A and B are shown apart, each in its own frame.
Chain A
Amino acid sequence: MGNHHRQGARLRGLLRGSSRKLGTPQIMLSAVILVVLAVFVVVPVIRIVVDTFVWQSGDVRLSREAQPGAFTLFHWGRVFHSPLTPHLLTTPLVNSILVGVATSALSLALGGLLAWFVVRTDMPFRRATGALAVVPYMIPSYSLALAWLTLFKNQRIGGTAGLFQYLTGIAPPDWVAYGFLPTVVVLSLHYYPFVFLLISNALTSVDMSLEESAEVLGAPRSLVLRRITLPVVLPAVLSGFILTFSRAIGTFGTPYFLGSPVRFFTLPTMIYSNIGMRFNSTANVLVLVLILFSSILVFVSQKVVGVRRSFVTISGKGFRRKPVQLGKWRYLALAISATVVLLAAVLPLILLFWQSVMEYAGTYSFSNFTSAFWLAPAGTRLTEGEPGLLRNPEILRAAWNSVRLSATAALVAAVLGSLIGYVVVKGRGTLVSKTIEQVSFLPYLIPSIAFGAIYLNVFIREWGPIPSLYGTFLLLVLTCVFRNLPFATRSGVSTMMQVSGELEEAAQTFGAGWFYRFRRVVFPLTIRGMIAGFSLVFMTTMRELSLIILLVTPQTRTLTTMTMRYQEQGFVQFANAITVILVVISVIGVWAMRKLGGQSQSGGD
């Protein structure tokens, strides 16, 4: 933190009251961002809206009157006013919202608590906890759902009973094994890293002297927490809530997997199945409903927190950090953290790895061990001739493609997200700022399979000055960037809000140009936020499948597309082994970025 201190010493006492107005570079930057968002976000969304009013070629199956290409209100009628409405819309929507609210509440609790333990207390094993805390997001939530069933399944769906019943002899009731409860728990264990990353990042940047002064003045710790710590991390809490809620109501795999045995269906189930049957217009109406509900949420939460009530905590003054002494509570904190991290990260990973070294899937014994799926040479009988993954050049190529795609997309998104965060915060209150913030969030609400299909249909043609991007690596990158941009913009916005305007203004007074200011003042101060954004986009893109499946070419196949291949052939071992490789690459990527970030931060004064 030496740089803060030096900066503090240099800048302290300099002009504070300069007017905050939009400079020309900001206006230029806003204009460029608006154009980019128009092309890559607004046009695709308009495409969705238009499609809902048009008969598609597959709709002939729904109505004899369908005339592909012609205008119709049929799809809106089908969703909002037909005997199907309760099954297609109302019940699934209510289920989705309940899952969304419960999941974000639990994620906030888990993520917030862990972030505070790791950043602010003297809990033992803080570094290890901090490193492991984001791992659950790298593991497909599907694996976690499977782990849940391994523990709690009852005889409802046939097969062998879960571990719980095996050990206790008591069959878990359906509501424990399937449906709402397990969905919420599994999704929370999967998504709390959003909250953890954003809050721990905010807590790291907060000047602790605020809290210390309050304590010196005799405020009890709970009051300090409530009145000082909480308010200053509020933007991060809000961002975490929005990201978690939107993902939780929009996610398909886990709610479907755990819900369908008890016929607990959510809105994404209906969207995915309608897309799968190629009733795209019906699906698009439901997508718009999803977008509407999440937009309302974003809007309301923005009102509640109010950008004006944000707290500047990265000021020109240097600060010292002294951890909160938990005393004997340290061990309780450790127990909570360890439980979460073990359940959500370590256990699923061990299971995944174990399942990749089994000769026969499903038999957990040492005599069933084989390394064939990792190391066997080509021609091995057990693997039906496929070489082990580490000897398979195709896997290595796919791994390289995954890394290349994720790193590029994450880098572009992080930079773009930071710039967006900058113009949103600098122009706060203006219409431009609000528009940029809202629009950049839209793609996140569109289910990935729908997003991929729209990008295919929009960018397959030449389009003004933009050539057809179909079949290019660039299109893959753009798809992943814009779909995941909110990760970067949310962390961009929450970090920028903490940065004091006085720093940049000081530099401005010394005659520093805008680019110089951004590069030498704003950028170094917000690098933490960028790293958080980068990490989230990187981890998400590594696991992306349905988003890019329509756009990949044989030369750009990624690791996840290989998992699909092995799953279809019934090679759970290969599929699990690839998942392990994905997690390992994600861990390395995120770790490397942190190291890099740490260096550039200390060297970037």
Chain B
Amino acid sequence: MRVKSIGSLILAFLIAGWVVGLAGGQKIDEATRAWLEQVKVGPYLEPTLYELALTEREVTIYSYSSRVHQFGATFEARYPGIKVNAFDMDSGEILTKVLAEQRAGKFSADVIFLKDPAAVIAELYEPGYVFNYIPPDIKHLLPAEYREPLLVHHISLDVFIYNTEVYESSPIKNIWDLTRPEWQGKFLMPDPLVTTEYIEVLATIVQHAADMATAYEEAFGESLVLSPGVENAGYEWIKRVLQNGAVIVRSTDDVSNAVGAPGQVHPPVGLTAFSRLRDKEKNPQLAFDVAYGVKPVLGVEHQVVVAVVNRAPHPNAAKLLIQWMMGDDYGGWGYAPYHVFGNWPTRVDVLAPSGVPALAELAYWNTDAEFVWDEYGKIVDFWTLNR
């Protein structure tokens, strides 16, 4: 209960200051007192966000990540008197729930914290169901691309991985290698129709069709001939990978467990989340690593965004919580649950955990929310037709 005692210490100071301010020997008449109160000078101070939030008593957050319970607990300890109602569910479920609430006028969520910025922007932000909030204290610490239209909490990467027990370095040098006969049936990836962030990955590959065409030439020494009806090199890669017997599994850990399992003769390569490298701590037998040097890029970024919900019943607590989640102004514990292998903070003053290469050193593609949104249906249909 150290926090509580610090809280009461602060309170004691505040009360002391107030008493001194009033009893400081100044002669104050009633009109002056009213003026002081109006302009918040002398004994009267601007209420802090915490003081405003305290009157709201609680805050409700819908989170894609179950670690909401961890930063919720540290928030409650740091800001006694405000209770965090944490819901964890899929990003898609958050969208469904917020849409239903907003349309019915049942305003219950304060903060949403989720993946799939393309859908969040198009379906929640543009109709005015959610709004951006950048904690003022840290605004100067955030690059512009992570501030608009919605605050980006952190980013992560989806990357190609290989088995390190059998291969000393990545057996694929170029992602077009996956279309060669020797990798037939030896490439695993999560089903984009089920783990939908991989639609973002595929869309980003399609968006970089020109780079994909160049990469093909590097790999095969000739220019790419598109199959009939296929629009560009990005789609061509998807088609050929599927034709080459790509194994579709349910989730990212299915990929990393299959690639990293020990004792394999001809282990597959896979596309999965960078953060799966963390599983090696929980299961030291797993032997896999990221194919850092693969061409044209080692993977694709995706963003996790946070926003305040329209008519949030507890707006000040919502702002305070977002500030806490971002690591507030003195690097509080709010960001800690995400300060892990595979996540990169968007704040320039927070370094990635030790042992993680800096983003600047990695060749990856950014996702473009607008492009993902526009191309989404086409990617889904193309995948469904060709799988």
* A residues with CB within 8 A of B: 57-58, 60-63, 83-84, 87-88, 155-160, 256-257, 260-261, 263, 272-273, 275-279, 360-363, 453, 456-457, 460-461, 468, 470-471, 549-550, 552-554, 561, 564-566, 568-571
CB–CB B191/A260 < 8 A: yes
Interface presence of B262 (CB below 8 A): yes
CB–CB A160/B263 < 8 A: yes
14 additional contacts, CB 8 Å, given A61-B373, A87-B385, A276-B196? A157-B188, A158-B261, A256-B250, A278-B119, A362-B285, A456-B97, A457-B100, A468-B106, A470-B101, A471-B108, A549-B89, A550-B93, A561-B88, A570-B253
Residues of chain B contacted by A550 (CB below 8 angstroms):
89, 93, 96-97
CB–CB B92/A276 < 8 A: yes
Interface presence of B25 (CB below 8 A): no
CB–CB B283/A362 < 8 A: yes
Contact residues on B (Cβ < 8 Å of other chain), bracket: 35 or more
Most chain B CB atoms below 10 A, which of A158, A263, A277, A456: A158
The complex places the Cα of A83 from the Cα of B385 at a distance, in Å, of: 8
The complex places the Cα of A156 from the Cα of B384 at a distance, in Å, of: 21
CB–CB A84/B85 < 8 A: no
The complex places the Cα of A84 from the Cα of B386 at a distance, in Å, of: 10
CB–CB B67/A569 < 8 A: yes
Given known contacts A157-B249, A157-B258, is B100 in contact with A63 (CB within 8 Å)?
no
CB–CB A461/B93 < 8 A: no
The complex places the Cα of A88 from the Cα of B380 at a distance, in Å, of: 11
CB–CB B381/A84 < 8 A: yes
Which residue on B lies nearest to A86, using beta carbons? B385
Binds A, one of B204-212, B217-225, B264-272, B360-368: B264-272
Distance to closest chain B CB from A378 (angstroms)? 11
Which residues between 72 and 121 of chain B lie within 8 Å of chain A, taking CB atoms? 85-90, 92-93, 95-97, 99-101, 104, 106, 108, 119
CB–CB B196/A277 < 8 A: yes
Residues of chain B contacted by A84 (CB below 8 angstroms):
381, 384-385
Residues of chain B contacted by A83 (CB below 8 angstroms):
385
The complex places the Cα of A107 from the Cα of B95 at a distance, in Å, of: 39
The complex places the Cα of A468 from the Cα of B248 at a distance, in Å, of: 42
Interface presence of B199 (CB below 8 A): yes
The complex places the Cα of A92 from the Cα of B248 at a distance, in Å, of: 16
Distance to closest chain B CB from A558 (angstroms)? 13
Distance to closest chain B CB from A455 (angstroms)? 10
Residues of chain A contacted by B69 (CB below 8 angstroms):
565
Interface presence of B376 (CB below 8 A): yes
CB–CB A273/B96 < 8 A: no
The list of the 9 closest CB pairs from A to B, nearest first, reads A158-B258, A565-B66, A273-B193, A61-B376, A62-B377, A159-B261, A158-B268, A159-B258, A61-B377
Distance to closest chain B CB from A446 (angstroms)? 16
The complex places the Cα of A279 from the Cα of B186 at a distance, in Å, of: 31
CB–CB A261/B249 < 8 A: yes
Residues of chain B contacted by A260 (CB below 8 angstroms):
191, 248-250
Interface presence of B279 (CB below 8 A): yes
The complex places the Cα of A277 from the Cα of B195 at a distance, in Å, of: 9
CB–CB A363/B285 < 8 A: yes
Distance to closest chain A CB from B133 (angstroms)? 22
CB–CB B248/A60 < 8 A: no
Residues of chain B contacted by A470 (CB below 8 angstroms):
101, 104, 106, 108
A63's partner among B66, B67, B123, B377 (CB-CB below 8 A) is B377
Residues of chain A contacted by B37 (CB below 8 angstroms):
none
B282's partner among A157, A568, A570 (CB-CB below 8 A) is A570
Residues of chain A contacted by B259 (CB below 8 angstroms):
158
Residues of chain A contacted by B88 (CB below 8 angstroms):
561, 564-565
Residues of chain B contacted by A361 (CB below 8 angstroms):
282-283
CB–CB A554/B86 < 8 A: yes
Which residue on B lies nearest to A572, using beta carbons? B282
Which residue on B lies nearest to A358, using beta carbons? B283
Distance to closest chain A CB from B2 (angstroms)? 16
Q: List 28 A-B contacts (CB under 8 A).
A: A58-B123, A61-B373, A61-B374, A84-B381, A84-B385, A87-B384, A155-B264, A155-B266, A157-B188, A157-B247, A158-B261, A159-B258, A159-B264, A256-B250, A260-B250, A263-B248, A273-B191, A276-B90, A278-B96, A453-B96, A550-B93, A552-B87, A554-B86, A554-B87, A564-B66, A565-B66, A566-B66, A569-B67
A277's partner among B92, B263, B265 (CB-CB below 8 A) is B92
Residues of chain B contacted by A60 (CB below 8 angstroms):
122, 373
Residues of chain B contacted by A564 (CB below 8 angstroms):
66, 88
Residues of chain A contacted by B258 (CB below 8 angstroms):
157-159
Most chain A CB atoms below 10 A, which of B87, B122, B127, B259: B87
Distance to closest chain B CB from A32 (angstroms)? 28
The complex places the Cα of A599 from the Cα of B373 at a distance, in Å, of: 61
The complex places the Cα of A363 from the Cα of B193 at a distance, in Å, of: 32
CB–CB B385/A360 < 8 A: no
Distance to closest chain B CB from A399 (angstroms)? 17
Which residues between 282 and 317 of chain B lie within 8 Å of chain A, taking CB atoms? 282-285
Which residues between 223 and 273 of chain B lie within 8 Å of chain A, taking CB atoms? 247-250, 253-254, 257-259, 261-268, 270
Residues of chain A contacted by B282 (CB below 8 angstroms):
360-361, 570-571
Residues of chain A contacted by B380 (CB below 8 angstroms):
61-62, 277, 279
CB–CB A460/B85 < 8 A: no
Distance to closest chain A CB from B338 (angstroms)? 12
Interface presence of B135 (CB below 8 A): no
The complex places the Cα of A272 from the Cα of B268 at a distance, in Å, of: 28
The complex places the Cα of A62 from the Cα of B122 at a distance, in Å, of: 14
Interface presence of B4 (CB below 8 A): no
CB–CB A460/B247 < 8 A: no
Distance to closest chain B CB from A419 (angstroms)? 32
The complex places the Cα of A360 from the Cα of B186 at a distance, in Å, of: 27
Given known contacts A57-B123, A62-B377, A260-B250, is B261 in contact with A160 (CB within 8 Å)?
yes
Residues of chain A contacted by B66 (CB below 8 angstroms):
564-566, 568-569
Distance to closest chain A CB from B125 (angstroms)? 12
Interface presence of B139 (CB below 8 A): no
Interface presence of B57 (CB below 8 A): no
Residues of chain B contacted by A568 (CB below 8 angstroms):
65-66
The complex places the Cα of A160 from the Cα of B268 at a distance, in Å, of: 11
Interface presence of B194 (CB below 8 A): yes
The complex places the Cα of A457 from the Cα of B387 at a distance, in Å, of: 33
CB–CB A272/B194 < 8 A: yes
Distance to closest chain A CB from B61 (angstroms)? 10
The complex places the Cα of A333 from the Cα of B90 at a distance, in Å, of: 47
Residues of chain A contacted by B90 (CB below 8 angstroms):
276
Which residue on B lies nearest to A561, using beta carbons? B88
CB–CB B96/A456 < 8 A: yes
The complex places the Cα of A260 from the Cα of B254 at a distance, in Å, of: 12
